[in-house]
Amino acid sequence: MNPHPDRLAKTLADRDGLLASAGDGPFQTPGSGSCDARINLKLLLHEAKVAVDSRGSDQARQRLEQIQGVDLLAGTIQDGTARGVMVALEEVISLCKTSASDEIGDDCADVFEGKELRRKRDLLVASGGARIRFSRKNGVLLVDRKQDVHTENCIRFEDRADVGTLDGFEPVAGERPRLFNPGFLQPQLLVQGKLRDLLVIEGRLGRGPKGYPCKMEFEGRKAERSIRLRIKIDNRHRNHRLRIRFLGHDNPDRIKHRGTPGWEVARNGHRSFMATTLIRACGTLIVGTETVSVPGGQCLGWIEHEFRLGGDPTADER
């Protein structure tokens, strides 16, 4: 099977010429494990699609329609092509109408920082439905009475070495994943008001040189039933996969994410968890019979994800 022109191309402009001369195939297509390749590109693609759906101009829609391709959208492409796709997606977003601010002002809110925050034992964030409590002992406690959810230590981070390619994750044989508890992150800010609650915790996932600077923000808006969770990770390491686990959950409809690929649901007797990728750092692409280096696939730097915890699984909260 021949490599797809998307994959062969070293730049986005180069792809057009390859497509014109490629014929009908058959072509190599992305592997089944490519759903989390180049997660930064996937997140930007989701942002562009949301912008076009909610406030897109005709120009933005036309530009987005031009960004089509089996390997382009899968992220299984060389670095020059990937940079071109990301520039094109940023152009799509810039062609959309300006969005209204999503910030909520609450002049009557109580703000806790520093020593005052450290004295507080009950760090509560409540929406109009679900709520979370945070402590070093119990980590993140998620409660949603309507959905019959009451789970202590409901979040874990899982890190494993990756010796695969952009077509699929491959763990090191016999190596167990490292698990991190967000309970070791330090509270930095707590805001409790009539319109919203906000908790910011920050620190490092994992000890030693293989840790990850991390910032988590839990926001509960009284007009919504879910808790907004924003996670910012500074990836400084190559050839690994960092995932988030939500313990005590086995229904992907109960936790939403903006742009991340599908969930893996694991069950062991009465215990269960759902996991999805935050970072997949991989610098290898197979093009036909050649192995090509793709340093951009390592996704180094800050990457931000947003989830919705609890609430109505059918609600369309963007």
The predicted-structure confidence for 139-155, as pLDDT tens digits, reads as follows: 999 999 888 888 889 99
Give a yes or no: residue 104 inside a domain.
Answer: no
**In Å, what is the CA distance from 165 to each residue of 69, 150, 189, 233?**
19, 38, 40, 22
Domain identity same for 167 and 267: yes
The β-bridge partners of 101 are: none
Are 280 and 299 a contacting pair, CB within 8 Å?
Answer: yes
Q: Find the length of the chain.
A: 318
Give a yes or no: residue 258 inside a domain.
Answer: yes
If you search the block for the tokens 């959208």, which residue do you land on?
Answer: 73
Give a yes or no: residue 305 inside a domain.
Answer: yes
**In Å, what is the CA distance from 104 to each residue of 220, 278, 305?**
11, 27, 20
Domain identity same for 114 and 255: yes
Report the pLDDT value the prediction gives residue 186, as an integer from 0 to 100: 95
Give a yes or no: residue 286 inside a domain.
Answer: yes
Give the contacts of 37 (CB within 8 A, at least 6 positions apart).
30, 74, 75, 76, 166, 167, 280, 282, 297
Domain identity same for 177 and 304: yes
Domain identity same for 159 and 88: no
Give a yes or no: residue 148 inside a domain.
Answer: yes
End residue of a domain, out of 48, 69, 94:
94
- Rounded to a whole number of angstroms, the distance between the first and last alpha carbons of the chain is 41
Question: Which CATH number is 284's domain given?
Answer: 2.70.98.30
Nearest to 225, CA basis, from 307, 128, 145: 128
End residue of a domain, out of 68, 94, 120:
94
- Tell me whether strands 139-144 and 149-151 are parallel, antiparallel or unpaired: antiparallel
What DSSP element (H or E) covers 91? Answer: helix 79-94
Domain identity same for 150 and 66: no
pTM comes to 0.93
Tokens of 114: 């520093």
Report the pLDDT value the prediction gives residue 7, as an integer from 0 to 100: 96
Give a yes or no: residue 314 inside a domain.
Answer: no
Give a yes or no: residue 99 inside a domain.
Answer: no
Report the pLDDT value the prediction gives residue 314, as an integer from 0 to 100: 54
Domain identity same for 180 and 281: yes
Give a yes or no: residue 45 inside a domain.
Answer: yes
> pLDDT digit string (tens) for 276-294?
999 999 999 999 999 999 9
Question: What does the DSSP 8-state code read for residue 128?
Answer: S
Question: C-alpha angle with apex 14: 13 to 18, nearest 5 degrees?
Answer: 125
Domain identity same for 71 and 143: no
Domain identity same for 29 and 142: no
Domain identity same for 151 and 277: yes
Domain identity same for 85 and 116: no
Task: Report d(CA 145, CA 311) in Å as an integer.
Answer: 9
The β-bridge partners of 156 are: 245
Domain identity same for 130 and 225: yes
Are 157 and 180 a contacting pair, CB within 8 Å?
Answer: yes
Handedness of CA 75, 81, 83, 84 (dihedral sign): negative
Report the pLDDT value the prediction gives residue 164, as an integer from 0 to 100: 97
Task: Report d(CA 73, CA 65) in Å as an integer.
Answer: 12
End residue of a domain, out of 48, 63, 94:
94
Task: Report d(CA 182, CA 83) in Å as an integer.
Answer: 33
Range of the domain at 55: 5-94
Domain identity same for 272 and 180: yes
Tokens of 143: 């409660």
Report the pLDDT value the prediction gives residue 285, as an integer from 0 to 100: 97
Domains in the chain: how many in total?
A: 2
In the chain, which residues have pLDDT < 70? 261, 312-318
Report the pLDDT value the prediction gives residue 274, as an integer from 0 to 100: 93
